[in-house]
């Protein structure tokens, strides 16, 4: 009898403890749910043509708000960076042959051997990397790279060619800068969520190539804000998909279509005029008239950037829509931090007031 009573008492105590524990869990869950529901949410659609810098901006959000990249991220980028060494050198050498650029006879022989390997497989191998290293030593090839706007190769390829010994080391781990400068075309729809000054940001990124744009329209309806990224420095470059079309012109026309689309009628917009560093360098020698015949500002940085900004703003026919703008360098973390801080003070506050959060 005593043992039975004691056993029953212990059982009741355990049940009571479990109920208290369950109640605590329920209270915690309720508190978390309540906090989440009260948090200001901002849904942002990130758009722009291919190579504009959308993915780089998203990477910056990882660095600024999520403490950088995971081990798995680094391993993925490592493979991409190493493979890109092969692909980009192949594209550069083919362009040298096609355009009869002056390179040494020995380099040509090496290049042809290299292309034979690349034609079999684009995979990264130490044998192929050996060829890349020797080819990049040719001063004629480096001079040809400066004319890269005439063929399709990322403007950051030389950064990786110069780091080839580091990149091919067995213990190589990509730095944040390596990852920021690594080019991977965005396909499909990607999403990132993070906290920024008591606001939950949900950023939706879709591919910028022409084949990806049909997916954009389905993302318009439930967003609070559009960020459209323009690559300023591409005013003398052609599309990867169509070598007859100017990249900046394509971006301008695309912004006009998006800005005046019925789905976007009541959405606010931020224009990021990106690659400002490359634009500042280029406009010293390449006139903006190459893209806009009505431009008369000469080789002047300030005149050029404000002319392009005005061209984009004029494309929006809705005078009631707010269009905010910032000049950016997406590969510069401090620059992007300052831009996000400025957006929090102006743009985000404005949008949240409209939605009744403030």
Catalytically annotated residue among 155, 178, 183, 234: 183
Catalytically annotated residue among 51, 155, 178, 234: 51
**DSSP three-state, residue 41:** strand
- In what side-by-side order are the strands of the sheet with 323-327? 189-196, 199-206, 40-48, 225-231, 268-274, 323-327
Q: Does the annotation mark 56 as catalytic? A: yes
Q: Does the annotation mark 19 as catalytic? A: no
Q: Please provide the DSSP assignment of 166-232 as one string.
A: HHTSTT----HHHHHH------SEEEEEEEETTEEEEEEEE--SGGGGGGTGGGSTT-SEEEEEEEG
**Tokens 């008239």 label which residue?**
289
| DSSP element (H, E) containing 56 | helix 54-66
Cβ-contact 92, 140 below 8 angstroms: no
Catalytically annotated residue among 196, 209, 333, 346: 209
Q: Does the annotation mark 51 as catalytic? A: yes
Catalytically annotated residue among 178, 205, 224, 234: 205
Three-state helix/strand/coil letters over 237-274: CECCCCCCCEHHHHHHHHHHHHHCCHHHCCCEEEEEEE
> Who's near 194: CB < 8 A, 6+ residues apart?
61, 65, 66, 200, 201, 203
Q: Does the annotation mark 187 as catalytic? A: no
CA–CA dist 52, 330 (Å, integer): 9
**DSSP three-state, residue 10:** helix
Q: Does the annotation mark 314 as catalytic? A: no
Catalytically annotated residue among 56, 107, 186, 328: 56
Catalytically annotated residues: 51, 56, 183, 205, 209
């Amino acid at each position: 009898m005593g043992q039975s009573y004691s056993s029953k008492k212990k059982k009741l105590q355990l049940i009571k403890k479990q109920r208290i524990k369950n109640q605590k869990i329920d209270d915690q869950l309720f508190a978390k749910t309540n906090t989440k529901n009260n948090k200001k949410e901002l849904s942002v659609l990130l758009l722009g043509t291919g190579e504009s810098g959308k993915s780089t901006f998203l990477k910056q959000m990882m660095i600024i708000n999520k403490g950088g990249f995971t081990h798995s991220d680094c391993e993925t980028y490592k493979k991409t960076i190493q493979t890109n060494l092969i692909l980009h050198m192949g594209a550069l050498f083919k362009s040298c042959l096609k355009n009869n650029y002056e390179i040494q006879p020995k380099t040509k022989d090496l290049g042809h051997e290299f292309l034979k390997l690349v034609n079999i497989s684009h995979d990264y191998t130490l044998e192929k990397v050996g060829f890349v290293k020797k080819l990049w030593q040719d001063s004629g090839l480096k001079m040809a790279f400066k004319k890269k706007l005439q063929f399709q190769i990322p403007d950051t390829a030389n950064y990786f060619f110069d780091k080839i010994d580091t990149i091919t080391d067995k213990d190589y781990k990509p730095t944040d800068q390596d990852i920021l400068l690594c080019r991977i075309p965005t396909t499909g729809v990607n999403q990132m969520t993070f906290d920024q000054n008591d606001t939950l940001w949900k950023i939706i990124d879709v591919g910028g190539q022409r084949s990806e744009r049909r997916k954009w329209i389905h993302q318009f309806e439930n967003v609070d804000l559009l960020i459209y990224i323009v690559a300023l420095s591409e005013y003398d470059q052609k599309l990867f998909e169509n070598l007859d079309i100017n990249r900046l012109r394509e971006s301008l026309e695309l912004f006009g279509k998006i800005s005046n689309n019925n789905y976007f009628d009541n959405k606010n917009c931020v224009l990021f005029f990106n690659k400002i560093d490359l634009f500042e360098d280029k406009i010293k020698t390449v006139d903006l008239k190459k893209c806009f015949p009505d431009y008369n500002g000469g080789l002047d940085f300030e005149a050029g950037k404000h002319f392009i900004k005005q061209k984009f703003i004029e494309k929006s026919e809705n005078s009631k829509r707010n269009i905010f703008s910032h000049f950016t360098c997406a590969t510069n973390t401090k620059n992007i931090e300052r831009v996000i801080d400025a957006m929090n003070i102006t743009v985000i506050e404005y949008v949240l007031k409209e939605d009744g959060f403030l």
